[in-house]
Amino acid sequence: MNARPPACARTSTITWLLTAALTVGVLALAPTPASAQQRQEAAGEQAVQRLEKQYGPETVRSVRELVQSLRSQDVTVGPLWDKALEGASKNVPEGRFVAGIRAYGKRLADASGTLPDPADRSALLAAADALQRGVPESAVRDVAGQAAGRSGAESAIPLVVLGDLVNSGVPVENARSVVQAALKRGQGPREMLVTSWAVRDLIGKGQPPANAARQVGRGQAPTPVPGVGSPPADVPRPGGAPIPPGAGPPEGKGPPGQKGKSSGS
């Protein structure tokens, strides 16, 4: 029988995966289109005021032009304003700030084009994050298409898991097969995150990533850690801010033998 990873490693990985499930589900109580538009406008005004104080007029103009370009493509711009505020709060140098915002805007536009419902903010954030982690647009489109009809965490978590598996070294085709098989079985967000944990667990025990994904996809992986699929009663229900693009397990907090990766914007 395979030995379980140390309790601290299991707990840290589980904590991150559950946090992803809970935080990316912010739109489980999705606002109406009108309230979403009002929220975007308010966020935009707040961001502009902050940028005007911190950067020059050229930077503010660049961000406004990018926002207009995204809107002309029917891309939700709220995440871009959020990213702008994040960069300003971190005092990112002006040159890096503009380059980073432009790159993120392009990623949002690319992600929007892969989704059946581009207005689904949770799915948009998860798709953009998957692209940043190296998942090709075709794989994101396939998984998003199979999850069509879901919303909030239901639509986003398959993409979160897809990006996490690829980020863990699983070949794209194997990662896509695992996620699509989970969707076909009707797995919900938390069950799907257990699937991701099971792959990481096998990788941490020395299995090549492709083999680990195949075992989990075929249902041959060890039983996941008890309690992960049904978190304790004190674990909050989905809500809160979406996971930031590029978020991942803390460095060194993955399963044994594997360090978590994080991607910058």
| pLDDT tens digits, 15-57 | 445 445 444 443 333 444 556 666 767 777 778 888 888 898 9
Q: What is the pLDDT of residue 109?
A: 97
Strand partners for 150:
148
The DSSP 8-state label assigned to residue 86 in this structure reads H
Q: How far, in Å, CA of 159 to CA of 151, rounded?
A: 12
- Report the distance separating Cα 125 and Cα 108, nearest Å: 8
pTM: 0.71
- Side-chain-side CA neighbours of residue 199 (13 Å): 32
Comparing 260 with 111, the larger pLDDT belongs to 111
Phi-psi region of 249 (alpha: psi -120 to 50; beta: other; left: phi over 0): beta
Angstrom CA distances, 158 to 60, 78, 86, 244, stand at 35, 22, 26, 16
pLDDT top residue among 32 and 90: 90
Tokens standing for residue 138: 């075709």
- Taking the C-alpha atoms of residue 21 and residue 161, their distance in angstroms, rounded to an integer, is 10
Segments in 25-93 forming alpha helices (H): 33-54, 57-72, 78-89
Of 24-33, 104-113, 196-205, 211-220, which range is least confident? 24-33
Please write the tens of the pLDDT for every residue from 114-133: 999 998 999 999 999 999 99
Q: What is the pLDDT of residue 151?
A: 74
Structure tokens given for 35: 């309230």
Q: What is the mean pLDDT of residues 216-223?
A: 67
Q: Could you tell me which of 15, 4, 21 has the C-alpha nearest to residue 223?
A: 4
Q: Residues 87-104: what's their mean pLDDT?
A: 93
pLDDT exceeds 70 at position 226: no
Strand-pair partners of 148:
150
The answer to whether residues 196 and 217 touch, using CB atoms and an 8 Å cutoff, is no
